[in-house]
């Protein structure tokens, strides 16, 4: 497992319902305890100009200076600084995956609700959109896949792609747009391999938001309503299907809001376990 992490992408105790600012460190510690081979890779923080590829420059500078609220609904400058590293983590992971045709991990969250000129839903900057645009600018990428299995819609991803004229660059599937619940989620899982093959076979790399707020016990659950066992099966399907397609996957954490935080970390462990088992 190649995990792109720098301690500056973690911020502790910010008084938010979302644990995502402090989650990277906790998840990394848990993954190390699983005992699988793991290499911590270097992260380059994004520049202001790179953030502006998907956002209004005045919005970007306002957030970073602490004049405009971030996705956590505050103007905390420590949070603002960390955003350069969280987006940098994902872009660094995407760059490596694209260049080396291998799957990578970015222990980050807080991307898919961020809009062109405002934050929303614990999300400040559209890291998925920024990474896709940079893959095009740097390497001439023609088709990037986004498989967003967070419980909530990737509305910010769609909006920033549209506002920047890159909607044709990305094939985007978001679970949050679907009506998936306890009555039909087993059928959704059965259909997931075909969904991946049909939507992403011609993509050069897949960005995978492995959100766990779709768990049936999550206080913010919307679409999904999965059991723990179903989330484990979801991860197995994603990685085995993509391996068969020889499609490199860039995984990030996305949402998860159960308390205590150990419940969320346990669900994120299922991602690492499934990846290891699919790539033995």
How confident is the model over 268-278, as pLDDT tens digits?
999 999 999 99
Q: What value does the mean pLDDT take over residues 260-273?
A: 97
pLDDT tens, residue by residue, 23-64: 899 999 999 999 999 999 999 999 999 999 999 999 999 999
Q: pLDDT confidence of 216, banded at 50, 70, 90?
A: very high
pLDDT tens, residue by residue, 120-137: 999 999 999 999 999 999
pLDDT greater than 80 at residue 228: yes
Domains in the chain: ranges and CATH: 2-278 (3.40.800.20)
What are 230-236's contacts with CB under 8 Å, separation 24+?
230/185, 230/186, 230/189, 231/267, 231/270, 232/270, 232/273, 232/274, 233/189, 234/149, 234/189, 234/192, 235/210, 235/270, 235/271, 235/273, 235/274, 235/275, 236/274, 236/277, 236/278
Q: pLDDT confidence of 279, banded at 50, 70, 90?
A: confident
Cα distance between residue 148 and residue 222, in whole Å: 14
Q: pLDDT confidence of 212, banded at 50, 70, 90?
A: very high
pTM of the entire structure?
0.97
Structure tokens at 145: 């896949």
pLDDT tens, residue by residue, 81-124: 999 999 999 999 999 999 999 999 999 999 999 999 999 999 99
pLDDT tens, residue by residue, 148-188: 999 999 999 999 999 999 999 999 999 999 999 999 999 99
pLDDT of residue 143: 98
> What does residue 108 show for φ and ψ, rounded to 5 degrees?
-140, 165
pLDDT greater than 70 at residue 15: no
Q: Over pLDDT 70: what percentage of the chain? A: 98
pLDDT of residue 10: 84
């Amino acid at each position: 497992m190649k995990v792109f992490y720098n301690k500056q992408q973690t911020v502790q105790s910010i008084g938010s319902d979302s644990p995502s600012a402090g989650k990277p460190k906790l998840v990394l510690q848990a993954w190390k305890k699983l005992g699988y081979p793991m290499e911590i890779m270097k992260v380059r923080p994004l520049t202001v100009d790179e953030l502006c590829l998907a956002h209004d420059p005045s919005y970007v500078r306002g957030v970073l200076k602490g004049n405009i609220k971030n996705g956590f609904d505050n103007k905390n400058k420590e949070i603002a600084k960390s955003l350069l590293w969280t987006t940098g983590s994902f872009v660094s992971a995407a760059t490596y995956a694209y260049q080396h045709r291998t799957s990578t991990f970015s222990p980050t969250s807080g991307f898919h609700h961020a809009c062109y000129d405002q934050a929303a839903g614990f999300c400040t900057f559209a890291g998925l959109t920024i990474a896709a645009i940079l893959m095009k600018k740097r390497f001439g990428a023609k088709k990037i896949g986004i498989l967003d299995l967070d419980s909530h819609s990737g509305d910010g991803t769609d909006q920033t792609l549209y506002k920047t004229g890159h909607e044709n660059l990305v094939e985007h599937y978001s679970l949050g747009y679907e009506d998936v619940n306890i009555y039909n989620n087993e059928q959704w899982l059965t259909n997931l391999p075909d969904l991946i093959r049909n939507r992403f076979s011609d993509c050069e790399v897949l960005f995978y938001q492995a959100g766990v707020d779709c768990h049936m016990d999550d206080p913010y659950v919307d679409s999904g309503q999965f059991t723990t066992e179903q989330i484990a099966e979801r991860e197995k399907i994603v990685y085995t299907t993509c391996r068969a397609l020889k499609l490199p996957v860039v995984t990030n954490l996305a949402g998860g809001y159960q308390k205590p935080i150990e419940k969320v970390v346990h669900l994120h462990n299922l991602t690492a376990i499934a990846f290891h088992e699919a790539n033995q």
